[in-house]
A and B are shown apart, each in its own frame.
Chain A
């Protein structure tokens, strides 16, 4: 019933074989075919630009004022590629292997291999576009290393790699806009997919400036709308990031895969108050030189929590570098899921270091003493400044000197929701189970398994948009060339538009007492508390009960002002409506998956040392959830995972 359409042949030949035998669309026919691309991040912009350049007519939508604002822009660290420029033994196979292992053996092998295969092309493409990657004095490209790997394969542009890659894709997109092959719709938000005879044939979108509901037809629809991290209210996502397009597709019958796989990033600035709107990430690169610790003695932790002493007051002998203690081989550079859980474990045991007890220290004293302050500032100065602006503490500032030993102000960090590995289910062609509906980038589920490695999100977004979808979508479109352009006057368009309008009118008509944000915060609290870093059967059942109450509260007591034109409260309410559905989906999948793997940790399933315990016998599959109606539980299908190239093992970062 689930057909992932993985091509025949050995893993290294699958993509070559696919491309050799797939159907293509000839240039004259491309002009007759329209493609809607929703989203202008790395995946969306690169797909829209590439499809436009091939000759298709592309309609490209984004919710911001310009395609260049998409949240891919905030990615800091870098992009992986198997170039082996450093001569350190990297290869396509090794990148493939690291990604599958990092994903805790829950990704689809064939997709990941293809990702590793095209990774090198991405770097070539971006350099040709004028992306100013960091370089060596000899003029060649520079690389650095990231968590969970043994080679240096990460390409970067200062701490702004996402920005530079997105601006590269944006410039390619604007080139096509100028050529007339892509038409841009900025400040538009997709509300629903229009289905005709079982195929995706268009979308209904809301113009965020005048509030009008508009219809758009096309031969295929591509969703590149990112992840669902903002379900948790506080995350490192941008304020506008939402899962409404994906949930609209889910409600139309598209399977939602592995929703429980949510990545929690270990190094974010801790929550400081109930007015906070988002969490700020401090780059993973800080873990190269920073050491993570909490006090050894509980009385010190209590004094820290009361604000009676500062981190720098605690002498070296009384510090517990718990990652170095627990994971000697990888130390502070263990993968994100492992580092996050270890921080939570210490804080839950009462060793947290800020007023809420939910923070650990990231300390640069050792690095500054070893390298000198100038070198450390050269590497991390901008991050230190950013940290100071937010918290009023500068981690590069000398706090005290005892017997010649210099202590610097440590940063305080805590894990936060960062990325979602789950997403719309897609086959090898990146097509959902709805014909004509494709999902790319973070919006789909396929490449990162249960945990994503650093610098791999950018790689996947651009791989999908530049090198995979523009091929695979033709295999679908080749038999659509005789289908004439649709009229948006068809009854299916009207019916979908009417349903969207009815939903909006319903929300406006509630006229309750609570603001959208206040209900969203309640949702976030429940999700973080019960569906966050450590999940239990009991907690997840509590969460599902509470989510029902939140749904009821939203349906009966939300207040949205009636405003013509720009209505930011209505924008948020429509998104929250879908976040609640998403929250339920995450909790249901987490309850159903009776194992711990990657970002999904069930307290019932752990080793004696507190490490995640997978169940490869019973849980070696992708869970695919099918919508049954708002009041009913979704139905689960399984896509069994088949590993041909890699032997499935327990992840080990200790030795």
Chain B
């Protein structure tokens, strides 16, 4: 009898333990709809590493990834696959800001937490954890305005017209330059976030406007634009925004370029994952995510690299491959600090 009771107790304990262990384990789906750059690969790798780091805190976080070049319906299929798979949360770098409203509603109905990162989404059933693209654009413009002492002719090389991140970044620099009446934007072109097109665009701009003092240019296109500036032997006369890959940071250090770079770190998805795991534990945010145009955003700090901290940035990417991006993420502890 005694034996039987102890056996029963043991079973109860085991059941309770496994139930507890079960409650601590989460399955999170990561969806990426574009694999055109190493930044996206790094984004997923950092998120996977962040998930593994939760093990020390006693949580098994399993990530399942869907990452491929897909059209919008293809990425909607990603979300539907995750619903079929029965994940606890979905973190998505979305191909469209608005197209996922119905499918996110479906995910929420199935009890799934949805977080978008890198690009904001309009769905009230999702939240956004990432940087404010408008502030990102403004930060580069602030640096440029300060470096030029508030006057001079400026050109802008933008990404894909109509892409929401691009439009927000453009709105960001326009707002800043509008505050400096002596800074004149003489031309704005689109180079589709393509390094070669950025180089070509800069060449054309240099040929058209001999008196350019500043260039506002985004991401990988900056490396292309700087190539043209250096080819024209104008690197001592022009200040231009830069980018965050190791190759460029090395060039920047070596040639002492007059540059400054807003950082959109590939670690944003890892940050979103840490927030997701805390939310899945039913913890409550100190400040609910209500920022941004859709009222569902939680903005992360935007690091900025300029001559004052270039050496630190170079140190972080030392020994990494040339395409590795300078990164930053919300650690578990930093994320925990945001919760009650």
Asked if A pairs with B, the answer is no
Give the B-binding residues of A (Cβ under 8 A): none
Give the A-binding residues of B (Cβ under 8 A): none
